[in-house]
C-alpha cells in the first residue's frame, strides 16, 4: 500500500533545516574544541620549552657564578702575591741602607752612651738607650744631625737615674735619609763610553 505523507511539505523542510543546523552546530562545537585542545597543547609545549630554557640558563648562570668566584679568588691571591713581592723588593732595596744606618749609628753614638732598642717604621727610627748624662744625649743628637744617613733628631723622653751606673735613659726619634751614590750612574755610563769608542 503506498505511503502518503500527511505532513505539509513546508514543515518537513523546516525540520530538515533544523536537523542540518544542529549537525552544523555540533560540528562547529567539535571543531572549536579541537582548536582549543590543539591550542592548549601548543601553549603547554611552549611553556615547557621556556621552562627548559630557563633551567638551562639557571644552570649556566650558576656555573658562571662559580667561575667568577674562582676568578675573584685568583685575583685576591694575585694581589697578595704582588704585595709580598713588593715587600720583598722593598726589603732588598733597603738592605744596603740598613747596613749604612747601623754603621752610621755606631759612629754617631758617643762614648758613655748605649742603645738598648732600635725600631724602624718606614724611614722613621725610634732609638732607646741609656747615657752617663744628658750632655751625652745632646752630643748624640748633634752627631745625628750632622750625619749623612740620619737627620732631624727629636728627643721624646729623658729620665735621670742618679742611683744607676748610667745617669739618664732616653727615647729619641730620627729620620733615615737615602743617600744617592754616583757610582751606579758611573757604571751605567761605562757601556755608553765603550759604544762611543767602538763607533769612533
User: Where exactly are the structural domains of the chain?
Assistant: 11-98, 109-182
CB contact set of 12 (below 8 Å; sequence gap of 6+): 5
**How many residues can be counted in the chain?**
200
Q: What architecture is domain 109-182?
A: 2-Layer Sandwich (3.30)
**pTM exceeding the 0.85 threshold for the entire prediction:** no
Q: Answer for the pair 110, 134: CB distance below 8 angstroms, yes or no.
A: no
Per-residue pLDDT in tens (0 to 9) along the chain, 200 residues: 555 555 566 777 788 888 888 888 888 888 888 888 898 888 888 888 889 999 999 999 999 999 999 999 999 999 998 988 887 887 677 667 778 888 888 889 999 899 999 898 888 999 999 998 889 999 999 999 998 888 999 999 888 876 666 778 999 999 988 766 544 444 445 555 555 454 44
Quote the CA–CA distance of 27 and 25 in Å, as a whole number. Answer: 5
- Cα 133 from Cα 168, distance rounded (Å): 6
Amino acid at each position: 500500500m503506498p505511503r502518503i505523507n500527511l505532513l505539509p511539505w513546508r514543515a518537513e523542510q523546516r525540520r530538515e533545516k533544523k536537523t542540518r543546523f544542529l549537525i552544523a552546530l555540533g560540528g562547529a562545537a567539535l571543531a572549536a574544541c579541537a582548536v582549543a585542545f590543539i591550542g592548549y597543547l601548543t601553549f603547554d609545549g611552549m611553556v615547557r620549552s621556556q621552562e627548559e630554557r630557563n633551567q638551562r640558563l639557571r644552570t649556566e648562570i650558576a656555573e658562571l657564578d662559580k667561575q667568577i668566584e674562582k676568578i675573584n679568588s685568583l685575583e685576591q691571591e694575585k694581589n697578595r702575591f704582588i704585595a709580598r713581592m713588593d715587600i720583598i723588593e722593598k726589603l732588598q732595596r733597603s738592605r744596603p741602607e740598613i747596613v749604612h744606618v747601623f754603621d752610621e749609628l755606631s759612629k754617631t753614638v758617643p762614648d758613655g752612651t748605649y742603645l738598648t732598642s732600635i725600631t724602624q717604621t718606614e724611614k722613621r727610627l725610634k732609638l732607646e738607650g741609656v747615657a752617663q748624662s744628658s750632655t751625652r744625649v745632646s752630643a748624640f743628637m748633634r752627631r745625628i744631625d750632622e750625619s749623612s744617613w740620619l737627620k732631624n733628631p727629636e728627643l721624646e723622653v729623658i729620665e735621670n737615674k742618679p742611683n744607676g751606673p748610667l745617669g739618664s735613659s732616653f727615647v729619641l726619634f730620627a729620620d733615615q735619609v737615602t743617600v744617592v751614590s754616583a757610582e751606579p750612574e758611573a757604571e751605567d755610563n761605562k757601556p755608553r763610553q765603550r759604544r762611543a769608542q767602538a763607533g769612533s
